Chain A
Amino acid sequence: MKRIKRVLTLPNIGAGYLYFYIHFITEIICFFVLTNLMGNSQVIWLIPFVYDALAFVPQSIFGFISDKYSKIPMGIIGTILLVTALILYSLNINNYLILVVLCIGNCLLHINGAEVTIRASKGKLSHSAIFVAGGSFGVITGKILADIGFNNIFLILIALTMIPCIMLAEYYRKEAKEEKCDNYNFHNKKYPESVIILLTIFIIIVRGYMGYGIPTSWNKTLFESILLYCTMGIGKALGGILSDLIGVRKTAIISTLISLPFLIIGDNNMVISLIGVMFFSMTMAITLGVLVSVLKRAPGIAFGLTTIGLFLGTAPIFFFKIDSFLMNTLVIIILTIICFLILMLILRKESREEVRNE
Chain B
Amino acid sequence: MSSLKIIYDSSYIKGNELVFIILLITILVILLITVFLVKQEIKKSNNDK
Contacts and interface: CB of A to CB of B under 8 A. Distances in A.
A298 B3 contact: no
Given A53-B23, A324-B3, A301 B37 contact: yes
A57 B30 contact: yes
A304 interface: yes
A182 B12 CA distance: 47
Contacts of B39: 194
Assign chain A's interface to a size class.
35 or more
Given A322-B4, A323-B4, A60 B13 contact: no
Contacts of A45: 8, 12-13
Given A46-B13, A96-B19, A295-B45, A60 B34 contact: yes
A53 B31 CA distance: 11
Contacts of A308: 31, 34
A211 interface: no
SS class, residues of chain A in contact with chain B: helix
Contact of A319 (B7, B23, B34): B7
B12 A43 contact: yes
Interface in B1-22: 1, 3-8, 12-13, 15-16, 19-20
A319 B6 CA distance: 6
A69 interface: no
Interface string A303-333: 0110010010000001111111011100000
B3 to A, nearest CB: 4
Contacts of A96: 19
Contact of A301 (B20, B34, B48): B34
A271 interface: no
Contacts of B48: 180, 297
A127 interface: no
B7 A301 contact: no
A143 interface: no
A308 B33 CA distance: 12
Contact of A296 (B27, B38, B45): B45
Contact of A61 (B16, B34, B41, B44): B34
Given A60-B37, A294-B45, A296-B45, A321 B5 contact: yes
B25 to A, nearest CB: 11
29 contacts: A45-B8, A46-B20, A49-B23, A50-B19, A53-B27, A57-B26, A60-B33, A60-B34, A60-B37, A64-B37, A96-B19, A193-B42, A193-B45, A197-B38, A197-B42, A295-B42, A296-B45, A297-B44, A305-B34, A320-B4, A320-B6, A320-B7, A320-B8, A321-B4, A321-B7, A322-B4, A323-B4, A323-B5, A324-B3
Q: Which 10 A-B pairs have the closest CB atoms?
A: A324-B3, A45-B12, A60-B34, A327-B3, A319-B8, A323-B5, A323-B3, A193-B42, A298-B41, A321-B5
